[in-house]
C-alpha cells in the first residue's frame, strides 16, 4: 500500500509535508465512501487508491459498494444516460420502485459512527434517506450540464438532502441546487499505481507481442468503457481515415466490463461488428486478460491517444495518457477540455475528420508528438495527481468536520 511519503520524489517533500499538516486537523475522523462497483470505470479506480492513501495520513477511511440485481443496474444506467442529457429516457413507477427499494436494502452498509459519508454518483444516491448522523456528501462524476429534466426532477430532492455536493466542473452544477453547499474538485490519477508506473521498453514490448500488436508500426488507441458516450465507433472511423494515407497503422480499443454498466456488453458487440474483422483493429478487455499493467503498456505504445467522447464527466484516461508523455486528440467534451490544451498537450477537435488530420500530423511529426507529450505530463503533474486530489479531499473534510 502506498504511503504519502512515497510521492515525495514526484511532487516534492514540501507538498508531502503540506498534506500531512492538513491531515492533522482531521486525524482519526471516520469516513465512508460508497459507490456501485469495485472494478471498472474511473470512480472505482479513484477510490481504490485514495482510500488507502487517506488512511495512511490518519483518516479512518472505508469503502463499500451497494449490491443489486442486473435489473437495478439497467435502471441506474438509464439514470446515468439521462443525467448526461439523453432526453429519450423515461423512468416508470416500477423502475423508480426498484431503484429506491434496492437502496433501502443496502442501508446496512452505512456506519452509524461515520463522521463523513461520501456517496458517489446516482446509483447509491437515495441512501441519504438513511441519514442519522455525520455529514453527507454527494460526489457526482458525470456531466450534468444539461440533464433530462424529467429524470433530474425525480432525483434532485435527494441531492438537496445532502450537506454538500461535489462536481468535476462548475458548469455541471444544476441550477436548482442554488443555496446548498457545492464544491468543485477534479478527479486525479495515481502515478504509483500499476496502471501509471514506469515500465521498461522490454515490458512494453512483451505485452504488445502477446496480443499480436506490432511495436514497429504506428499505433493509435482509445481506452474507455464500451459505451455510447465514449464513441468507440468514432475511433474506428478516425483510424480508417488515417489508414487511407498511412496504411501500416494499428488501432487499439481497450475497455473493461463493470458490474454497474448494463450496456457494456451490447456496445462491445456493436464495436466488434463495426470493426468488421479488420486484423489491424485490436479490441481488448479485461476478459482478454488486459488488466492495469497491460493498459499501461498499451498507452505507452501509442503515437497518439484518442478520446472521442460525446459527453465526458472528466476522462481519467486522458490524464493517464498525458502522464505517459502521449499527446491526446480529444473532443471538446466535459473534462477533456481541462486536460487537452489545444496545440500544447494535444488537440481539441470538433469532428471525426479533424481528429484524423491531427492524428496524421502526430504520426508524421514524432518530434511534435514528443513535445506535446512532455507538456502533457507536466500539466498532469501540476493539476491531476492523487496528491492534489487528497489535499482537496482533506480540505473538504476540514470544512465539514474539522477540529
Residue 115 C-alpha cell reads as 463522521
Complete edge-to-edge strand list for the sheet that includes strand 346-349: 281-285, 250-255, 219-223, 304-307, 328-331, 346-349
Query: What domains does the chain contain, in order, with CATH numbers?
Result: 4-188+385-401 (3.40.50.2000), 201-383 (3.40.50.2000)
CB 136 within 8 A of CB 162: yes
Tell me how far apart the alpha carbons of residues 191 and 66 are, in angstroms, rounded to a whole number: 28
Tell me how far apart the alpha carbons of residues 330 and 366 are, in angstroms, rounded to a whole number: 18
Residue 171 C-alpha cell reads as 458548469
Tell me how far apart the alpha carbons of residues 157 and 389 are, in angstroms, rounded to a whole number: 28
Tell me how far apart the alpha carbons of residues 371 and 346 are, in angstroms, rounded to a whole number: 10
Q: Cα 262 from chain centroid?
A: 17
Q: What pLDDT score was predicted for residue 252?
A: 98
Those residues whose C-beta lies under 8 Å from the C-beta of residue 298, and which sit 6 or more positions away, are 207, 208, 213, 221, 223, 252, 254, 284, 290
The dihedral through the CA atoms of 138, 17, 380, 215 has a sign that is negative
Q: What pLDDT score was predicted for residue 265?
A: 87
Crossing angle of helices 232-243 and 264-275, rounded to 10°: 20
213-258 pLDDT tens trace: 999 999 999 999 898 899 999 999 999 999 999 999 999 999 988 6
Q: What pLDDT score was predicted for residue 111?
A: 86
What's the predicted TM-score (pTM) here?
Answer: 0.92
CB 207 within 8 A of CB 293: yes
Pairing of strands 304-307, 116-120: unpaired
Tell me how far apart the alpha carbons of residues 209 and 202 are, in angstroms, rounded to a whole number: 11
Q: What pLDDT score was predicted for residue 262?
A: 65
Complete edge-to-edge strand list for the sheet that includes strand 116-120: 60-65, 30-35, 116-120, 135-139, 164-167, 182-184
Closest among 302, 307, 280 to 211, alpha carbons compared:
280
366-391 pLDDT tens trace: 999 999 999 999 999 999 999 999 99
Q: Give the SS3 label for residue 368.
A: helix
User: Residue 85 region, left (φ>0) first, then alpha (ψ -120 to 50), else beta?
Assistant: left
Query: What is the residue-level pLDDT of the chain in tens, covering all 403 positions?
Result: 779 999 999 999 999 999 999 999 999 999 999 999 887 778 988 999 999 999 999 999 999 999 999 999 999 999 999 999 999 999 999 999 999 999 999 999 998 899 999 999 999 999 999 998 899 999 999 999 999 999 999 999 999 999 999 999 999 999 999 889 999 999 999 999 999 999 999 999 999 999 999 999 999 999 998 988 999 999 999 999 999 999 999 999 999 886 666 677 899 999 999 999 999 999 999 999 999 999 999 999 999 999 999 999 899 999 999 999 999 999 999 999 999 999 999 999 999 999 999 999 999 999 999 999 999 999 999 999 999 999 999 999 998 886 5
Residue 120 C-alpha cell reads as 458517489
Query: Helix, strand, coil shares of the chain as percentages rounded to 5?
Result: 50, 15, 35
CB 288 within 8 A of CB 246: no
Amino acid at each position: 500500500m502506498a504511503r504519502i511519503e512515497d510521492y515525495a520524489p514526484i511532487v516534492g517533500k514540501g507538498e508531502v509535508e503540506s498534506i500531512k499538516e492538513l491531515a492533522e486537523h482531521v486525524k482519526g475522523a471516520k469516513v465512508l465512501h460508497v459507490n456501485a462497483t469495485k472494478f471498472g470505470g474511473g470512480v472505482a479506480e479513484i477510490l481504490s487508491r485514495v482510500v488507502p492513501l487517506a488512511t495512511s495520513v490518519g483518516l479512518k477511511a472505508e469503502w463499500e459498494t451497494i449490491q443489486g440485481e442486473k435489473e437495478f443496474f439497467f435502471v441506474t444506467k438509464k439514470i446515468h444516460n439521462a443525467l448526461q442529457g439523453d432526453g429519450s429516457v423515461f423512468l416508470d413507477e416500477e423502475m423508480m420502485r426498484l431503484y429506491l427499494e434496492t437502496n433501502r436494502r443496502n442501508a446496512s452498509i452505512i456506519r452509524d459512527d461515520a463522521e463523513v459519508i461520501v456517496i458517489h454518483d446516482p446509483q447509491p444516491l437515495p441512501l441519504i434517506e438513511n441519514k442519522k448522523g455525520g455529514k453527507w456528501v454527494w460526489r457526482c462524476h458525470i456531466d450534468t450540464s444539461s440533464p433530462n429534466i424529467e429524470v433530474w426532477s425525480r432525483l434532485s430532492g435527494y441531492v438537496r438532502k445532502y450537506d454538500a455536493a461535489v462536481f468535476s466542473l462548475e458548469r455541471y452544477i444544476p441550477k436548482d441546487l442554488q443555496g446548498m453547499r457545492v464544491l468543485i474538485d477534479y478527479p486525479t490519477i495515481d502515478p504509483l499505481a500499476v496502471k501509471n508506473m514506469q515500465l521498461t521498453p522490454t515490458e512494453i514490448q512483451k505485452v504488445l507481442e502477446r496480443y499480436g500488436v506490432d511495436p514497429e508500426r504506428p499505433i493509435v488507441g482509445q481506452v474507455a468503457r464500451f459505451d455510447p458516450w465514449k464513441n468507440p465507433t468514432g475511433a474506428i472511423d478516425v483510424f480508417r481515415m488515417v489508414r487511407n494515407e498511412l496504411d501500416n497503422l494499428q488501432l487499439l480499443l481497450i475497455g473493461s466490463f463493470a458490474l454497474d454498466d448494463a450496456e457494456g456488453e451490447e456496445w462491445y458487440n456493436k464495436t466488434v461488428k463495426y470493426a468488421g474483422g479488420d486484423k489491424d483493429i485490436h479490441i481488448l478487455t479485461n476478459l482478454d486478460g488486459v488488466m492495469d499493467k497491460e493498459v499501461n503498456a498499451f498507452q505507452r505504445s501509442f503515437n497518439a491517444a484518442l478520446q472521442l467522447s460525446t459527453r465526458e464527466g472528466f476522462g481519467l484516461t486522458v490524464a493517464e495518457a498525458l502522464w505517459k508523455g502521449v499527446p491526446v486528440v480529444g473532443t471538446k467534451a466535459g473534462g477533456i477540455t481541462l486536460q487537452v490544451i489545444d496545440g500544447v498537450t494535444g488537440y481539441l477537435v470538433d469532428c471525426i475528420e479533424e481528429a484524423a488530420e491531427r492524428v496524421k500530423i502526430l504520426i508524421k511529426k514524432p518530434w511534435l508528438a514528443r513535445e506535446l507529450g512532455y507538456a502533457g505530463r507536466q500539466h498532469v503533474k501540476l493539476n491531476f495527481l492523487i496528491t492534489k486530489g487528497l489535499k482537496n479531499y482533506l480540505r473538504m473534510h476540514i470544512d465539514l468536520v474539522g477540529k
